[in-house]
Amino acid sequence: MRYPYAGKPNATSKIRIVEFSDTEIIHRKLLDHDELHIAFPWMEYIVRFGWIPNGQSVWAQILSRDQKRTAVVKLALEQFTSPSSSLPTEILWEETNSAWINVTDAYYFMKQTDATVTRLIWSSEKSNGYRHLYLVEKHIDQPAVITQLTHGEWCCLDKPIYVDESRGLVYFSAKADTPLEPHFYVVSYLRPQDGIRRLTQPGFSHTVTMTCPDYFVDCFSNLRHPHVFYVQKIDHSSLLPSPSSCKGLILPVCRITPHQNCSPCIADTIFLHTNSSGAENIKHYQEATLIFESVLSNGHLFSFTTSDGVVLYGCLYRPRSYQPGYSYPTILHIYGGPKSQMVVNEFRLPRLMRYLMSVYFGFAVVIIDGRGSSDRGLHFESHIQYRLGTVELKDQIEGLQFLYNTKFGAGVTKDGRKVSVVDLNKVAITGWSYGGYLSLMALGQYPDLFKIAIAGAPVTQWELYDAAYTERYMGLPSENRKAYAKSSVLQYVRDFPDSGNRLLIAHGLIDENVHFKNTEALVTELVKHNKHHYLQVYPNEKHGLRHASVNEHFETLMFYWLTNYL
């Protein structure tokens, strides 16, 4: 897939309306004086748009090229059809941020009872760097009245919200209780001072879908228990005023559980149980859980404080054959980039299957969410601004040192000793995409710590990546040349180890996301400096390995390297 590289001209966007009739299709465009790029010369992107519920207007969210300024505008249909229209483009929301503005799907436009008033729920990180919900009420020719609905040092998630307009309630997903568990909450936009109420059970991570005001579908799990689906009924009589705990009525209308004879990893057969007692559901679920626990190594969540006082979270998987008193070769599985959180109290199969398999080969596996990852607030996330690849690894290394020094997760030997689970003399780092990029940076910046780097589909210089993504975090190359140079893997190739069997690179030749040109540039530099490396190319694969045979080949290659060279 072609896309504009960082610093290059972007594709242009314009809003059009297509009008259908029995005989023809008419394309309507904004009249010249109402074109968005004229009214808002700073606009570069149209990132969201849709209909206002009354069908008489459309809305659009626009964004500047540096992604530090945004506005939500309302456009009347007359602005597309009537040359004599004098209706102005209304600004419903406007915002600037010195870091960047995260565009989300957490918004809702309310039905209009008065054509002169627009009401919506919008999410923003403008107040304290944490994403919260706001009620916006905009009357024509008047400034918008904005009411903050949620507060605190926690984030509403980038998930669609549901609004029950008949009761004045907003349902949303957030991590208000802990950064490790997404939950489902409700707040009244009529009485926001009553606070929020959690509707889901703590101790699990919840993914919720809601399309009607009385029920929601809840998919939940934790590290030890596989995913379960509930249809849950809301008891509106106890919703408000809001206490801190959930008192909503939970009805197990139907529960999806794997059949007892299913494979422990792939439930090919799914049965819906609707019996009133739920006893058979629980029986099947307990049996499935026992199977999973018998074949998986349970993760151990941990937290630590960095040398500069920031609390970070991680997860340690001990080898399946773990015995107290021994340290084990360790795999640091990394992504490390923005818009991602790896460490959550959630069942990780099949998402992390490749790395959880490592415990069977006698490896410890460590996952750490450092600064730059999502759902901890914009200040936490923007730690990487203009510094991609140069600061993330410090958090990872401090996490490894914490595990080693505290002997976290280690059992006690018969003579009362504890020995660290992780062996810092045998650490491999591996990841895909941004994780592949950081794996390469780790080998160049810390070759004495990381014995092996296995990098999949890595970015190697940010001038070769997508303009919108790269410029959000790095700015324009012409304005930040030094930052781009420091963030390039190619600058560190001369520091890669000279010994063999330290670097494995894998990349799909038709990668539509991280173009293979990145790996071409890396290999050219590796050859220039006479650095040992092994390159595995998959001719028919895109950014992710989609074919079963290719996944099997890569996993065989990866474990061959780990078992023989780590």
Residue 21's region, left for phi above 0, alpha for psi from -120 to 50, else beta, is beta
DSSP letters, 16-85, are: EEEEE-SS-EEEEE--GGG-HHHH-TTEEEEEEEEE-TTSSEEEEEEEETTSSEEEEEEEETHHHH-TT-
Q: Residue 141: in which H helix or E strand, if any?
A: none
Alpha carbons 561 and 452: distance in angstroms, whole number: 9
Tokens representing residue 323 in the block:
């015995």
> Cα-atom radius of gyration of the chain, to the nearest Å?
26
Residue 120: CB atoms within 10 Å: 22
Angle, CA of 34, 38 and 39, to the nearest 5°? 65
CB neighbour list of residue 380: distance below 8 Å, 6 or more residues apart: 129, 310, 371, 372, 373
What are the distances in angstroms from CA 397 to CA 69, 179, 352?
35, 21, 21
Q: 35: buried, middle or exposed (CB in 10 Å: 19+, 13-18, 0-12)?
A: middle
CB 170 within 8 A of CB 161: yes
Establish whether the linkage from the previous residue to 350 is cis, with ω within 30° of 0. yes
CB neighbour list of residue 524: distance below 8 Å, 6 or more residues apart: none
Helix residue ranges, H only, 161-270: none
Tokens representing residue 252 in the block:
């197990």
Residues belonging to the active site: 433, 511, 543
Three state DSSP letters for 204-235? CEEEEECCCCCEEEEEEECCCCCCEEEEEECC
Alpha carbons 188 and 171: distance in angstroms, whole number: 9
Assign 451 to helix, strand or coil: strand
Tokens representing residue 442 in the block:
């780790």
Alpha carbons 168 and 112: distance in angstroms, whole number: 14
